Amino acid sequence: MRKISILGSTGSIGTQALDIIRYNKDIEVVALAAGSNIALLKKQIEEFKPKFVSVADEKLSLELKKELKDKSLETGFGKEGLITAASIPEADIVLSAVVGMKGIEPTIAAIKSGKDIALANKETIVCAGHIIMQLVKDFGVNLFPVDSEHSAIFQCLDKYNPIQKILLTASGGPFRGYTSKELENVTLEQALKHPNWSMGKKITVDSSTMVNKGLEVIEAMHLFNVDASKIEVLVQPTSIIHSMVEFEDGGVIAQMGIPDMKLPIQYALYYPKRKYIKGERLDFKKLGKIEFEDVDLDVFEGLKYAYEAANLGGSMPAVYNIANEYAVELFLEKRIGYKDITRLIKAAMDKHKNIANPSVAEILEIEKEIKADIRRD
């Protein structure tokens, strides 16, 4: 029986992974790491009986211990708790579904402990892809992408033929067709209404600005070892085609399915085997036509800046991600406007002196500097 540690167990990806595990009954959960949702984590502990659990901070850890029936259950908190959950000896695969920069060090710890990685935390690859992919190679582990688009690309790969081009699809989000002027008046409530996907708040905002697609461009560069010039973003409004790969002869392979994150999650957990998933199936007779649109980079500047960061390389992709992370945090707190998100990204990139091959320590130091700058502004 496969044994899993789930980082981000109470979030959207984590809960759906547990739904899959509950249904299939053939994966043992050995560790759970969550943020502050103690009520849900407690239910998960009672059902899945992990050997170790972690939460965001010490106060929450003490609160959890008081409520646990099993007083012998080992608990942790913060960064060290995440690292312990990621490197727990019993696990053979780690699902990294935490949000943001805090996924980097636990992912590295998991790889160095010989675990396979199911990666839903794109920030880890965007900021430290040059480090992560080398470690995956050095330690001989597998990294399975959980993002629907990267899972789609992974499913389209042909081991005998190199990628000529990646066609990365996007829904266009809730503001598809908007002008730059119209985006100035977007509210938080509007930004959190995605037309196709049910996701966490941060990624939903990222999808609306198309920064999420920008992060995916950078992530795809590292995961599939291709240059940004070979990655084209196309709007496919119904999210039926999750991404495509073009080969040298002009042939294109597309991965299709209804917009349901359970498919890429389960594919990562059981690769190379495909297992039954209960739910809706594509009905091509009802589907009709599939439409594609170009992205207006003058409107969705977040994607334009991602290509700039990708082409500059070094520490610039990390700057792009970090600035967005803290700008979105302020937007969710209603402290800045919608368009201020991309303005802050651009300002951070303009200010930063690029580092060619940043270490994890340097990336974390950049995070501190940008956080301070954005909070001050």
**β-bridge partners, 170:** 235
Is residue 198 over pLDDT 80? no
> CATH number of the domain at 2-145, please?
3.40.50.720
Is residue 377 over pLDDT 70? no
Q: How many Cβ atoms from other residues are within 10 Å of residue 78's Cβ?
A: 15
Is residue 68 over pLDDT 90? no
Q: Which tokens belong to 289?
A: 């036509």
**β-bridge partners, 165:** 246
Q: Could you report the per-residue pLDDT of 78-106, keeping only the tens digit for each?
A: 999 999 999 999 999 999 999 888 999 99
Residue count of the chain: 377
Instruction: Give the domain ranges of the chain.
Output: 2-145, 150-376
**Region 283-294 average pLDDT:** 90
Query: DSSP for 315-366?
Result: THHHHHHHHHHHHHHHHHTTSS-TTHHHHHHHHHHHH----SS--HHHHHHH
Pairing of strands 241-246, 252-256: antiparallel
Asked if 2-145 and 150-376 have one fold, the answer is no
Largest Cα span, the chain? 63
- Residue 177 gets the label, from left (phi > 0), alpha (psi -120 to 50) or beta, of left
Q: What is the pLDDT of residue 71?
A: 78
> Quick one: fold of 150-376?
Rna Polymerase Sigma Factor; Chain: A (1.10.1740)
Query: Which phi and psi angles does 287 have, rounded to 5°?
Result: -65, -40
